[in-house]
Structure 1
Amino acid sequence: MNVTVFSTLAFERPFLERANAGRHEVRFYEAALTGQTAPLAQGALAVSVFGPDDLSAPVLEQLWAHGVRYVLVRAAGTDQVDLPAAHRLGLRVAHVPDYSPHAIAEHAVALMLALARHLRRADQQLRANDFCLDKLIGFELHNKTVGIVGVGHIGAALAGILHGFGCRLLGEDVQPNPDLARRYGLAYVALPELCARADIISLHTPLTAQTRHLFNDQVLSQMKPGAMLINTGRGGVLDTAAALRALDSGRLGYLGLDVYEAEKGLFFANHTRDPLRDAVFALLLTFPNVLVTGHQGYLTREALTNIAEATVASLDEWASGVPADHEL
């Protein structure tokens, strides 16, 4: 099968090539899929895409016209894909839902610990030859209440890790998993109660019309004063402007982000020679109690291997004339 891969990141190409092992004819492009770059898929039966790519109806129509019949998303989230348009055209779409929940869950905990123990400030002080400890008093995760919003595979992995730290666990999800209550003592509650009780809240819900800006001014105001908020899920779940207001007022004590609602065109690229044109993001970085990483939660050897293997497995299944395991 001929495949065009868009938004190819240099570090992921070896994983994809190793998983493919020459079975499919693959063309790699660093360029993101847009209306202008869609012609690069001419002659390909399938395209593989990532977060920066545009899969709106007009682009999907172009892909179809160029002969593309299959779309592979190298991620769990598919909010950039107009699925109704894809289905209307007859395009088959698959994603990688379970590449490594542990990678994301562990990164969420890393953000929690780094914020709780002021590791960013500590590193800056030490590099400036300042070894004073006065501003580095932190807190322990042990015995803290952590609320997990979206308790799917990643949320469940996070619950297991935090249970090991001795945390009390709350969860909010449209499909509660009773096994987590038995194993970790996780209690499912409504979002307002979770916000009121949790010392730390970690977001892992998918981005939908219902969850976009789920954490807005109203919900942030329901959080305990000084609580920590972690988002390693989807950037659009958090209203960044509202988060800035909560940080400024002191309602939000700590904010850890691996995703950002306006990250498209910013993350996954080197902008060291460019001025930072996103005023909201620039303001976010001025807060000492904010820690941002550039969508690297999934960036482990294990997760990259799983993503590549699942992507090629879907191609193999389609080439064999059967539906892909993770077809949408």
Structure 2
Amino acid sequence: MLKIAFFDTKPYDKAIFEVLNKDYHFDITFFEVRLNDRTVKMAEGYDIISIFVQDKASSKVIDQLHAYGVKLIALRCAGYNNVNFKAAKDKIRVVHVPAYSPHAIAEFTISMMLTLNRKIHKAHNRTKDLNFSLSGLLGFDMYGKTIGIIGTGKIAKILIKILRGFDCRVIAYDPYPDHEAAASLDYTYVALQQLFKESDIISLHCPLTKDTEYIINASSINQMKDGVMIVNTGRGKLIQSKDLIESLKSHKVGSAALDVYEEEDKYFYEDFSVEGVQDDILSRLITFPNVLVTSHQAYFTKEALNNIAATTLKSMKQFEDRKTLEHEIAYVCDENGCAIKQL
């Protein structure tokens, strides 16, 4: 029987995996700690480890896992920038969950736009204090506004469908445009500079790569409309936070909704309500009245958790049965060079 160690598990993770594991009977141990250079020793004696977005499978960790006999890393998420695939090549196989609930993230994105625009969070806090004034709560109609979408994968396409229901004009940028989807959903692909120039709201849905890291920075912000809203439910490092703060202070950016943050691994998913945080940038972002920060919860629905668990356990079963790993990712080299690819 395979022995499996889960890192960075919360009570809701354990609950859903224990239910679905009744069909597989894997020997699973759940650890609350995150995988890193210091905790990797806990993986000794296990065949498979499962990790989440804040775990760190560095080259040092990969080498130690390989020495312990770990044969598979199962990511319980779609993103995989926390794994050193070059180090894992020919040592440890890696699988992920490519799509657990694109609807969850798209719906959360639109809720952030509406909450930030109509100041619903501020109104709620006011009325609890019996303050029913409307001063400072002015928003705008979504109808007719231009929404710029960067990255047009599954999540973005669902979001676009929702936005078209508001009669928004939707423009998009993607280095690999899907013109068939654009025609079907009634949106238009444009150059990135045009998207920056014309959008009232910009929403980020692209993967984090060397080309997209800090795609929102001082230079790109300067190309945007005054008062633009920026929404990020993708990856924290798509935005240069220091530049965002300066643009919020100058009112170039009118508002920002952030479900991710570039240094979130130090804080997100944990409770710091007593001790506070030592990150001055995150603390400053939270103080802005026109910034909405949530802790990487866009994916967090019952359906998504069930899909994550089902896909992860299915991959482990495929590995046990020596079948093709449907969701395997690897560092592949060919005549065109080396890259991380879905096999």
Give the AA of the match of 2:79.
G
| Corresponding position: 1:262 with 2:263 | yes
Q: CA RMSD in A?
A: 1.0
Structure 1 residue aligned with 2:233: 232
Say whether residues 1:325 and 2:329 are aligned partners. no
Q: Per the alignment, in what secondary structure is the counterpart of residue 169 of structure 1?
A: strand
Q: How far did 1:125 drift?
A: 1.4
Identify the residue that residue 203 of structure 2 maps to in structure 1. Answer: 202
TM-fit CA distance, 1:190? 1.1
Corresponding residue number in structure 2 for 1:69: 71
| Corresponding residue for residue 19 of structure 1 | 20
The number of aligned residues is: 327
Letter of the aligned partner of 2:75 in structure 1?
Answer: V
Counterpart Cα distance in 2 of 1:35 and 1:277: 22
Q: Distance in 2 between matches of 1:287 and 1:275?
A: 17
Report the equivalent of 1:29.
31
TM norm structure 1: 0.98
Give the Cα–Cα distance (whole angstroms) in 2 for the partners of residues 216 and 279 of structure 1: 18
Q: What SS is found at the alignment partner of 1:55?
A: coil
CA apart distance, 1:272: 1.6
| Matched position secondary structure for 2:165 | helix
* Per-residue deviation, residues 22-62 of structure 1 (Å, max 9, x unmatched): 52111100000012211211111110001111101000101
CA–CA separation in structure 2 for the residues paired with 1:142 and 1:310: 38
Question: What is the 5 A alignment of 1:1-328?
Answer: 1-21=2-22, 22-87=24-89, 89-328=90-329
Aligned AA (1:221): N
CA–CA distance in structure 2, aligned partners of residues 137 and 273 of structure 1? 33
Question: Following TM superposition, by how much is the alpha carbon of 1:323 offset from its aligned partner in structure 2, in angstroms?
Answer: 2.4
Equivalent-residue separation in structure 2 for 1:208 and 1:115 (angstroms) = 28
SS at match of 1:285: helix
Sequence identity, in percent? 39
TM-score of the superposition, structure 2-length normalised?
Answer: 0.93
Whole-angstrom distance in 1 between the partners of 2:118 and 2:308: 33
Offset at residue 12 of structure 1 (A): 1.5
Q: Which runs of 4+ in 1 moved over 4 A?
A: none
Distance 2:21 2:148 in 1: 40
- Cα distance in 2 between the residues matched to 1:290 and 1:262: 17
Residue by residue, what CA displacement relative to the aligned partner does 1:66-125 show, whole Å, maximum 9, x if unpaired? 1101001111100011111111x4210011011111111111101000011011221121
Mapped to 2, the partners of 1:294 and 1:194 lie a distance apart of: 27
CA distance in 2, matches of 1:179, 1:43: 49
Structure 1: tracts of 5 or more residues without a match: none
